[in-house]
Structure 1
């Protein structure tokens, strides 16, 4: 069976995905961010149009179940702007939900239904660890994500709190639940710039997502090229992904998804060469999100 990327408009050959923001949010809602909801389709469209004007072609929204994904709006936005959009199923940390929302849910069945059912389908499973560890909620969610992965082939993308516990997550998903490392995308690693750990995770075969150029996560920006060059020098260009990860209304457009093609791509080209920039922003996402 030929692997495809599952966008909100349907299946897409990986080679047509194009330059990709591999981790971002057009819509997001959490009780931890009152008054900062990303819920404005007009603002989302303006951001996508600016992204496209600078050469952006695809964006992967990591907003999971129960956090205001607005999948129908993603369909409308993709049609209006021509940008390929990939939606997520999965769950974030428990603190982002009313406990009543999660009580009694068959998580694996939910994830599979959103990956394969009617309506705009999800194209990845988003889960989350904790700060330097995994609580019972994280372990339950990751077990369900692994079950859904084995049923469908969908990749698993992981939020790491301040970039920590990536090795523990990889051990749980791969050693305990049999997920192949190249089906796992480890997010926020720029927030914990342990270059030796990054190399070990890439050696294992996982994808490493560096996703910080926004006002929310600006403290990671000055580590980015040290991390990229370290991994490139170790022969791991094929493990790297980049995203913007805008999570609040205040951070929207500062600098937004357009920062990747407008600013980061020229800098990567200058530092590592054009083939490396294409590998990180085009080729790697096409492989990471195809199933």
Structure 2
């Protein structure tokens, strides 16, 4: 049985329901002073509203050191009825207070990731994926270091590697490094923030890598490209890449919550985006993007004690 590691334990991938494939209930960065998402009550309201509108699972991409709220996530998941997947990993160095990245540079970074995936971020709360980040149109030394550790953690645990692409760029470099050099299967890699660089030709080239393609939003910071989302999805669907597409909310700042801020927040997916997917592309395509694809994307590719289990390739998905 293929499983997904949630904050309440492993569940069958087929039990996730509709999935917000990239979001944040908790997030804190030195780059966003005054916009910290550190209020558990507000996070609970957001998750509860997401669930009330039909959301089944939220995948939180907040990595190590950025205020994940790990101790609160199990309670919020139980109270809302929605599954939550937490992340280990490391973001760009610029998001951290002085000394945080240096504090994990001495120990082997992969060991930290594996420990949080297998033993827990806090007792009883295990991460279900690894989140790392590229840089603008390239990969710096920090990105290569964190991605090498993420690949090692993947090989040890089967966890998916989700990648923040800065403004949606450097996807090919990431795929070359993770998949070709470091041996991570493309079906265990999510290339995120592609809504921020909606170049149809570049997107089709990325799709040819076999990686999952993440589109998040709408975003206040990137509203200039929000209107291109459905054009980008249509182009990729027409080119045969429906089974690689993912949608997330990516609520990074407190003011963007739907329930305690100005929105749109995680509830925007069940309220607006998923119904629009059905209207634009049909129920089968909406089910692929909201249910089938994310279930495959975040499923562990290791079963038992080190026994490898291949994730299905996009062509193997039952939803076309």
TM-score range (shorter-chain normalised) is over 0.9
Which residue of structure 2 aligns with residue 46 of structure 1?
Answer: 45
Deviation at 1:3, TM superposition (A): 2.1
Which residue of structure 2 aligns with residue 117 of structure 1?
Answer: 119
Which residue of structure 1 aligns with residue 107 of structure 2?
Answer: 105
Deviation at 1:53, TM superposition (A): 1.5
Deviation at 1:105, TM superposition (A): 3.3
2:227 counterpart of 1:222: yes
Deviation at 1:219, TM superposition (A): 2.7
Deviation at 1:230, TM superposition (A): 0.4
Alignment of 1:1-291 (within 5 A): 2-103=1-102, 104-118=106-120, 119-253=124-258, 254-291=263-300
Is the 8 Å Cα contact of residues 212 and 220 (structure 1) preserved in structure 2? no
1:87 and 1:275 map into 2 onto residues whose CA distance is 28
1:46 and 1:217 map into 2 onto residues whose CA distance is 25
1:101 and 1:267 map into 2 onto residues whose CA distance is 41
Which runs of 5 or more structure 1 residues have no equivalent in the other structure? none
TM-score under structure 1 length normalisation: 0.97
1:37-61 CA distance string (max 9 Å, x none): 0011111111111111211110000
Aligned with 1:287: secondary structure? Answer: helix
TM-score under structure 2 length normalisation: 0.89
2:178 and 2:92 map into 1 onto residues whose CA distance is 17
> Which deviates further from its counterpart, 72-81 or 195-204?
195-204
2:112 and 2:225 map into 1 onto residues whose CA distance is 34
Is the 8 Å Cα contact of residues 214 and 256 (structure 1) preserved in structure 2? no
Deviation at 1:198, TM superposition (A): 1.2
Aligned residue-pair number: 290
Larger helix share, 1 or 2 = 1
